[in-house]
Amino acid sequence: MRLPPAILANTEEVLREILRFSAPADTTLSRYFKDHPRLGGRERGAIAEGVYAVLRNKSFFTDFAGSGNGMRRLAILGLSEAVGAESMGGLSEEEVEFLTRIKEIDRTLMPAQKRANLPDWLYEKFVAQYGEAETVILAEALNQPAPLDLRVNSIKATRDEVMNELAQAPIAAEPMPFAPLGLRIHKKPSLQNLPLFKSGAIEVQDEGSQVLSQIVGAKRGEMVVDFCAGAGGKTLALGALMRNTGRLYAFDVSEKRLAKLKPRLARSGLSNVHPVQIAHERDVKIKRLAGKVDRVLVDAPCSGLGTLRRNPDVKWRQKPEAVTEMHDKQVAILDGAARLLKGGGRLVYATCSLLDEENERVVEQFLAKHEDFALVPMNVVLAEQKIELEMGDYLKLLPHKHQTDGFFAAVLERKKMAKPVAPVATEETDAEEE
Ligand SMILES: C[S@@+](CC[C@H](N)C(=O)[O-])C[C@H]1O[C@@H](n2cnc3c(N)ncnc32)[C@H](O)[C@@H]1O
């Protein structure tokens, strides 16, 4: 069935706003749909996918869209990529011809940078790290929409039980290769109304995030801190891995993000999670737990460049100066979080960035300053967790190799005979814990 011609005008209108890059694309889309309540589910899906296709292919499309009515042409290119030219209504003869001409272009013959569809600064950084040939393959994988990944909440169900119930919906799901509780769905069904979702038996979570939670190695009865918990994606996974025992603190500076954790927590059935808003990484609330914690996960704020499959606008919105600032912030957060660990305890540093500056360089800087911590090679950690992934010292998940978002992680162990934690100046805050 063809989409109504008005969808093209809607796509053009929202695209004009999104390409100003003054807000995240998903925020602008949600607001647009709220302001246009008459758009149905299918229309919304087409507009959103059309916009995302433009964001993924912006360099390439912009060259062909030209000036004048360029925004309409961009919308046409985006929608045709997302839903197919045959599903679009309202195209003039000239526009149909334009689409045919574009379709005939063999993209594999284009220069590497054009194929990569990345801003110059990012393309250069990727080439310096990965080389030109791999940058193109990586960029092409980042330019594909991500599949829908689910994590089974082991407190409520087994993976087989969930797979069987999904099959009755009917939703085809397959077990993931690396995440023991993961299921992958290739279509995008709405899950919100499924009893499985309402009961907290499933959560949406990329396989890479699930592997990260797993390598924390949190055990029953332990004291664990998720230092940058946000809306709690990894907190919920950790709480279930601890079999709802011990104590799991979910720290974050953002009240809004922690508030989003609350309903998920209620659904999950976990009672071992304690959300705590902190003012910053040197908050006095952290000092109280210093030297007492078994495992700390620092899922640090980062450029997010590993998540371009889901957030293609990030590559156009991110700036090289911001990456440098992010590095300094990451070092400060890791430093603050490290004080929590007891001797023998493990600190896991993770990002969804693909840039060394936010990954290896942060860990190296940390280790140079903290003689009481040592790197646990990732191949050792993965073997402990029985995850069959070939890695060296670090976890480096890449979309073109592992079909996950891009993730980095390092595991740092505090030496057993470490000196008692030196008192560190903290800025007192008034707020009480929890
Ligand atoms: C990558 S996100 C975390 C995502 C989350 N772990 C998940 O799995 O859904 C990074 C988080 O760090 C938080 N953050 C930023 N600065 C922080 C700080 N100084 N201390 C603790 N958290 C911080 C942000 O509010 C954000 O929620």
* ipTM associated with this complex: 0.99
- C-beta 308 within 6 A of ligand 1: no
| pTM for this entry | 0.93
Q: Does domain 207-414 have CATH number 3.30.830.10?
A: no
Instruction: For residues 396-402, give the mean pLDDT.
Output: 98
Percent of the chain as helix, strand, coil, to the nearest 5: 45, 15, 40
Residues 6+ apart with CB under 8 A from 35: none
Instruction: Give yes or no for residue 341 CB within 6 A of ligand 1.
Output: no
- pLDDT averaged over the chain? 93
Report the pLDDT averaged over residues 154-160. Answer: 97
Share of the chain above pLDDT 90, in %: 85
Token reading at 64:
């062909």
- Residues annotated within the binding site are 252, 299
Residue in the structure block whose two tokens are 């998940």: 397
> With 0-12 CB in 10 A as exposed, 13-18 as middle and 19+ as buried, what is 336?
buried
Phi, psi (deg, nearest 5) at residue 341 = -80, 140
Question: What architecture does CATH give domain 148-204?
Answer: 2-Layer Sandwich (3.30)
Report which protein residue has its CA nearest ligand 1's atom 9: 233
* Residues 295-304: tens digit of each pLDDT: 999 999 999 9
Query: Residue 108's pLDDT is what?
Result: 87
Annotated binding site for S-adenosyl-L-methionine: 252, 299
Centre of ligand 1 to C-alpha 359, Å, is 16
Distance CA 178, CA 388 (A): 7
* Cis, peptide link before residue 275, omega less than 30° from 0: no
**Mean pLDDT computed over 412-433:** 59
User: What are 169-221's pLDDT values in tens digits?
Assistant: 999 999 999 999 999 998 888 898 899 999 999 999 999 999 999 999 999 99
Task: Please tell me which residue in 75, 261, 352, 411 is annotated as part of the active site.
Answer: 352
228 is catalytic: no
Over 90: is that where the pLDDT of 54 sits? yes
> Domain residues of the chain, as ranges?
6-105, 148-204, 207-414
Please check the confidence at residue 43 and state whether its pLDDT lies above 70. Answer: yes
Whether the CB of 299 sits within 6 Å of ligand 1: yes
Ligand 1, atom 15: closest residue by C-alpha: 301
pLDDT of residue 416: 87
